[in-house]
């Protein structure tokens, strides 16, 4: 008889890990106990040596579906073996190791809601320890029912028996519920609740009639309509005042091949417990153009709650499932707000009485077999911790504030980083409130007191100002981190780089970030570790006439690019551009801004270059309806033409020659897609040629969510024997910024500044 003490670290709480250990110990006839504590799961087990060895193997191999084991350490144990194996109850006041992400309905629960003999037949809130809401319902720690919005529902005796039984799939499933004791559904129209014996069937019928329905989900309300009904889709756009931003879809897996290409790779992305929106190649003509105007991909997710499964079955068609909000406001989460905010947009509301505590947008992933990447990290992925590389465990705790667009924040301590769910644009007051609330909640969940607060160099960011206030209030050290340095560091951190990693090279292709020299940057070749960086090359500086206005109006960037390339005579060169430039007086105002540098900051922005090229090709509206719209259209038209084209002959980072080539193609009547493809090819060649012979190149920044450009760069570097490192689990855009800030600030706080910095 020997004993072993085992410590399991990772996502091991709230996922059925203790009952799994309990069952395994019983199978192998071990004695001992298992418990939760602040570090994860602790186990003491006694038995014969062979059984103990098998026990440790099977702990890893057969862990529950939502568990993620980051480390499993075993040490021999002396003393007398206890009799039997038990689950030690959690002690009051013992902090948990955190909260797991919300997870899509598991196969066992799906089988129950489809089985007429089951007591949960057609029950929309069925869940178990392998699936269901988590972060979306948490108000505080420890993660017990009393600290979730399920506290309003008292378990019936049948549910309570499941909850207490270690051999049951619902042992300690905090949101456990059934039709007798759990949340319920109902339907409302604008005037109030309406009689509907089966709310799901009533709503499905309305959707089939072309109506628009607000559907309360797990992390917020969606607006749903029949995705194949062009009139309904157009009406939804009209009512939502949403011109061009793509609508996400929800579809049964069997229906997806009719609307999009579904590779095995994409299928696996769709089926993961996070159930993200996956960007798939659209089948031309299968859906109304208004679903995703100007795009060649559509975002599709599988039903991820029992409610969604029931609704999709009853509707029988793919549904638009776009976030339920007005214009730029965040998705609404509570019933009264949904009635108010979505009045005039929704015809019906499918309501339920389980409170959504934390707003969680749907996550977005791009299906790219060479490089699948998370573009928005929210429901299903957050707040899973990222284990950081060697040397981080000893560093002081950092709260990193992120940026203002696609904002997230990050808590780093004890060798791991917890990046928050996507919160959104902090310029919107309600989003800013959510950001502050979420910071408070995460700090409480993780018992987190920062010694360092990390912010962007841009002092105009709301995130920077809030970080300055938090640092002042708590006495934490404030560390300012350059934007593109943070992008590069985030990629290194994601891939497990040690705190003392050697400097890495990286192209950070971005919209805009504050540079260390006071200019705006966004196309940088950096050489950086977690301490400091040097800047070796960048795309040329071009004025942004009107500042922020230039980010929304691509034609301003087009004028600035042409003016910079050709001087005041740019009009002669630009007669062929395929966009409607504004009136002469308006253009002269812009020219004067550029000439005098008044309200026309200089920016080395790859994002604005894409906007300008899209404008030249007639691919952008006068005013963008969302950031990245023009660049996404440019990518979409380039994709089919990319194999048949090569780059323009441009030596160095020479935008004038690039523009001359584009204008010559325009004058010759070349197809838009061909010019777009050549632009991508040329940019990749220019950037690769400007890179010295190095051992590896990081590729990040928002522009590199462009899969065509990422693939071309990857190929160019591969041809030179240079591997690339790209973000996968955290967005390349500002959604990943906080992670990089945290890593840099943690390491930087223990050093003296380097002389070459900035």
Cβ distance to Fe ion smaller for residue 455 or 559: 455
The rounded distance, in Å, linking the Cα atoms of 115 and 382 is 32
CB of 495 to Zn ion, least distance (A): 32
**Collapsed DSSP state (helix, strand, coil) of residue 541:** coil
CB of 127 to Zn ion, least distance (A): 5
Distances from the Cα of 672 to the Cαs of 282, 332, 496, 628, 637, in angstroms? 20, 40, 41, 18, 7
Q: What are phi and psi of 514, to 5 degrees?
A: -70, 125
Neighbours of 467 (CB within 10 A): 27
Query: If contact means CB under 5 to 8 A according to the sort of partner, which of Fe ion, Zn ion, none does residue 611 touch?
Result: none
Cβ distance to Zn ion smaller for residue 75 or 157: 157
Q: With helix as H, strand as E and coil as C, how does 322-370 read?
A: EECCCCCCCCCCCHHHHHHHCECCECEEEEECCCCCCCCCECEEECCCC
Using CB under 5 A, which of 10, 515, 734, 740 touches Fe ion?
734
Residues 153-172 that bind Zn ion (CB under 5 A): 156, 159
The rounded distance, in Å, linking the Cα atoms of 592 and 335 is 51
Which 8-state DSSP code applies to residue 125? T
The rounded distance, in Å, linking the Cα atoms of 697 and 537 is 14
Cβ distance to Fe ion smaller for residue 136 or 482: 482
Are the CB atoms for 130 and 103 separated by under 8 Å?
yes
**Residue labelled with tokens 């465990």:** 393
CB of 301 to Zn ion, least distance (A): 18
Query: If contact means CB under 5 to 8 A according to the sort of partner, which of Fe ion, Zn ion, none does residue 542 touch?
Result: none
Stretch that binds Fe ion, among 392-400, 409-417, 721-729, 732-740 (CB under 5 A): 732-740
Bridge-based pairing state of the strands 185-189 and 85-87: unpaired
Query: If contact means CB under 5 to 8 A according to the sort of partner, which of Zn ion, Fe ion, none does residue 494 touch?
Result: none
The rounded distance, in Å, linking the Cα atoms of 165 and 646 is 65
Are the CB atoms for 661 and 678 separated by under 8 Å?
yes
The rounded distance, in Å, linking the Cα atoms of 132 and 348 is 25
DSSP annotation string for 378-434: -BTTTTPPEEP-TT-TTSPPEEE---STTB--EEEETTEEEEPPP-B-TTSHHHHHH
Query: If contact means CB under 5 to 8 A according to the sort of partner, which of Zn ion, Fe ion, none does residue 317 touch?
Result: none
Cβ distance to Fe ion smaller for residue 109 or 704: 704
CB of 131 to Zn ion, least distance (A): 4
Query: If contact means CB under 5 to 8 A according to the sort of partner, which of Fe ion, Zn ion, none does residue 180 touch?
Result: Zn ion
CB of 119 to Zn ion, least distance (A): 8
Stretch that binds Fe ion, among 36-44, 363-371, 539-547, 730-738 (CB under 5 A): 730-738
Cβ distance to Fe ion smaller for residue 102 or 734: 734
Query: If contact means CB under 5 to 8 A according to the sort of partner, which of Fe ion, Zn ion, none does residue 745 touch?
Result: none
Cβ distance to Fe ion smaller for residue 361 or 510: 510
- 178 touching Zn ion, by CB under 5 A: yes
Stretch that binds Zn ion, among 103-111, 266-274, 367-375, 387-395 (CB under 5 A): 103-111
CB of 510 to Fe ion, least distance (A): 4
Burial of 468 by CB count in 10 Å (0-12 exposed, 13-18 middle, 19+ buried)? Answer: middle
**Collapsed DSSP state (helix, strand, coil) of residue 632:** helix
Query: If contact means CB under 5 to 8 A according to the sort of partner, which of Fe ion, Zn ion, none does residue 734 touch?
Result: Fe ion
Query: If contact means CB under 5 to 8 A according to the sort of partner, which of Zn ion, Fe ion, none does residue 130 touch?
Result: Zn ion
E-strand ranges in 67-184 read 68-77, 85-87
Residues 180-199 that bind Zn ion (CB under 5 A): 180-181
Cβ distance to Zn ion smaller for residue 28 or 131: 131
Structure-derived torsion over alpha carbons of residues 76, 80, 82, 86, reported in degrees to the nearest 10: -30
Q: For the window 505-534, what string marks contact with Fe ion as x by the rule CB under 5 A? A: -----x--x---------------------
Residues 441-500 that bind Zn ion (CB under 5 A): none
Cβ distance to Zn ion smaller for residue 180 or 671: 180
Cβ distance to Fe ion smaller for residue 98 or 731: 731
Residues 315-354 that bind Fe ion (CB under 5 A): none
Query: If contact means CB under 5 to 8 A according to the sort of partner, which of Fe ion, Zn ion, none does residue 181 touch?
Result: Zn ion
- 456 touching Fe ion, by CB under 5 A: no
Site size toward Fe ion (CB under 5 A) is 3
Distances from the Cα of 409 to the Cαs of 269, 362, 404, 463, 549, in angstroms? 25, 17, 10, 9, 27
CB of 548 to Fe ion, least distance (A): 15
- 33 touching Fe ion, by CB under 5 A: no
End-to-end CA distance of the chain: 62
Cβ distance to Fe ion smaller for residue 143 or 521: 521
CB of 733 to Fe ion, least distance (A): 6
Query: If contact means CB under 5 to 8 A according to the sort of partner, which of Zn ion, Fe ion, none does residue 510 touch?
Result: Fe ion
What residues contact 62, with CB distance under 8 A and at least 6 apart?
A: 20, 24
> Is the bond leading into 484 cis (omega within 30 degrees of zero)?
no
CB of 100 to Zn ion, least distance (A): 13
CB of 181 to Zn ion, least distance (A): 3
Q: For the window 109-138, what string marks contact with Zn ion as x by the rule CB under 5 A? A: x------------------x-xx-------
Query: If contact means CB under 5 to 8 A according to the sort of partner, which of Zn ion, Fe ion, none does residue 128 touch?
Result: Zn ion
Query: If contact means CB under 5 to 8 A according to the sort of partner, which of Zn ion, Fe ion, none does residue 156 touch?
Result: Zn ion
* Chain Cα centroid distance, residue 514: 23
- 106 touching Zn ion, by CB under 5 A: yes
Q: How many Cα atoms occupy the beta-carbon half-sphere of 665 within 13 Å?
A: 23
Site size toward Zn ion (CB under 5 A) is 10
Cβ distance to Zn ion smaller for residue 352 or 716: 352
The rounded distance, in Å, linking the Cα atoms of 240 and 234 is 10
Cβ distance to Fe ion smaller for residue 204 or 737: 737
Name beta bridge partners: 602. Answer: 543
Query: If contact means CB under 5 to 8 A according to the sort of partner, which of Fe ion, Zn ion, none does residue 131 touch?
Result: Zn ion
**How many H-runs (helices) and E-runs (strands) does the chain carry?**
22, 29
- 603 touching Zn ion, by CB under 5 A: no
Name beta bridge partners: 535. Answer: 526
Residues 654-693 that bind Fe ion (CB under 5 A): none
Point out which residues bind Zn ion (CB under 5 A): 106, 109, 128, 130-131, 156, 159, 178, 180-181
Point out which residues bind Fe ion (CB under 5 A): 510, 513, 734
């Amino acid at each position: 008889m020997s004993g072993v003490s085992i410590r399991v670290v990772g996502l091991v709480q709230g996922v059925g890990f203790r009952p799994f250990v309990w069952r395994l110990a019983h199978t192998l006839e071990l004695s001992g106990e298992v418990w939760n504590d602040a570090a994860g799961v602790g186990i003491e087990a006694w038995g014969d040596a062979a059984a103990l060895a098998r026990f440790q193997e099977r702990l890893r191999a057969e862990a529950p579906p939502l568990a993620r084991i980051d480390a499993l350490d075993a040490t021999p144990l002396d003393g007398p073996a206890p009799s039997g194996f038990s689950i030690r109850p959690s002690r009051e006041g013992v902090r948990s190791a955190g909260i797991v992400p919300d997870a899509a309905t598991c196969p066992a629960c799906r089988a129950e809601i489809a089985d007429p003999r089951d007591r949960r037949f057609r029950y929309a809130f069925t869940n178990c320890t392998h699936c269901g809401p988590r972060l979306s319902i948490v108000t505080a720690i420890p993660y017990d029912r009393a600290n979730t919005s399920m506290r309003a529902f008292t378990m019936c005796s049948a549910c309570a028996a499941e909850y207490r039984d270690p051999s049951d799939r619902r042992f300690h499933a905090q949101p456990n519920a059934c039709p007798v004791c759990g949340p319920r559904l109902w339907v409302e129209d604008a005037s109030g609740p309406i009689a509907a014996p089966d709310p799901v069937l009533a709503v499905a019928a309305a959707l089939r009639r072309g109506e628009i329905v607000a559907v309360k989900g797990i992390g917020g309300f969606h607006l749903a309509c029949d995705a194949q009904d062009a009139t309904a889709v157009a009406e939804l756009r009209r009512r939502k005042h949403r011109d061009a931003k793509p609508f996400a879809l929800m579809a049964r897996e069997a229906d997806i091949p009719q609307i999009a290409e579904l590779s095995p790779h994409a299928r696996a992305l769709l089926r993961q417990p996070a159930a993200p929106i996956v960007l798939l190649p659209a089948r031309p003509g299968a859906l109304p153009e208004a679903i995703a105007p100007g795009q060649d991909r559509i975002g599709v997710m599988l039903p991820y709650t029992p409610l969604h499964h029931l609704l999709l079955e009853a509707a029988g068609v793919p549904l638009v499932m776009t976030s339920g909000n007005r214009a730029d406001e965040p998705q609404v989460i509570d019933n009264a707000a949904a009635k108010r905010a979505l009045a005039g947009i929704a015809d019906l509301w499918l309501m339920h009485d389980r409170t959504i505590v934390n707003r969680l947008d749907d996550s977005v992933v791009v299906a790219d077999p060479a490089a699948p990447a998370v573009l928005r990290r929210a429901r299903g992925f957050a707040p899973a911790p990222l284990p950081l590389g060697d040397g981080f465990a000893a560093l002081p705790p950092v709260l990193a504030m992120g940026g203002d667009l696609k904002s997230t924040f990050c808590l780093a301590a004890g060798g791991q980083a917890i990046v928050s769910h996507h919160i959104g644009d902090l310029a919107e007051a309600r989003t800013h409130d959510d950001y502050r609330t979420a910071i408070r909640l995460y700090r409480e969940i993780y018992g987190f007191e920062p010694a360092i607060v990390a912010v962007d160099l841009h002092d105009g960011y709301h995130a920077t100002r809030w970080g300055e206030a938090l640092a002042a209030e708590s006495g934490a050290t404030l560390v300012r981190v350059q934007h593109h340095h943070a992008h590069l560091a985030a990629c290194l951190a994601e891939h497990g780089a040690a705190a003392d990693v050697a400097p890495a090279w990286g192209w950070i292709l971005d919209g805009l970030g504050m540079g260390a020299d006071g200019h705006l940057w966004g196309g940088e070749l950096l050489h950086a570790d977690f301490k400091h960086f040097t800047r070796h090359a960048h795309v040329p500086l071009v004025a942004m006439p009107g500042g922020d206005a230039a980010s929304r109006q691509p034609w301003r960037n087009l004028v600035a690019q042409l003016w910079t390339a050709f001087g005041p005579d740019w009009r002669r060169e630009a007669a062929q551009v395929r966009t409607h430039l504004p009136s002469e007086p308006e253009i002269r105002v812009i020219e004067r801004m550029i000439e005098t540098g008044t309200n026309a900051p200089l920016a080395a922005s790859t994002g604005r270059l894409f906007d300008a090229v899209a404008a030249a090709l007639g691919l952008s509206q006068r005013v963008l309806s969302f950031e990245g719209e023009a660049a996404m259209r440019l990518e979409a038209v380039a994709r089919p033409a990319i194999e048949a084209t090569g780059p323009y002959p441009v030596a160095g980072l020479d935008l004038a020659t690039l523009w001359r080539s584009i204008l010559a193609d325009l004058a010759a009547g070349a197809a838009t897609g061909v010019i777009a493809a050549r632009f991508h090819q040329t940019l990749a060649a220019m950037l690769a040629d400007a890179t010295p012979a190095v051992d590896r190149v990081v590729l990040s920044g928002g522009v590199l969510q462009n899969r065509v450009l990422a693939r071309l760069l990857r190929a160019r570097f591969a041809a030179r024997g240079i591997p690339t490192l790209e973000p996968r689990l955290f967005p390349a855009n500002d959604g990943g910024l906080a992670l990089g800030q945290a890593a840099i600030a943690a390491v930087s706080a223990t050093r003296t500044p380097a002389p070459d910095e900035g």
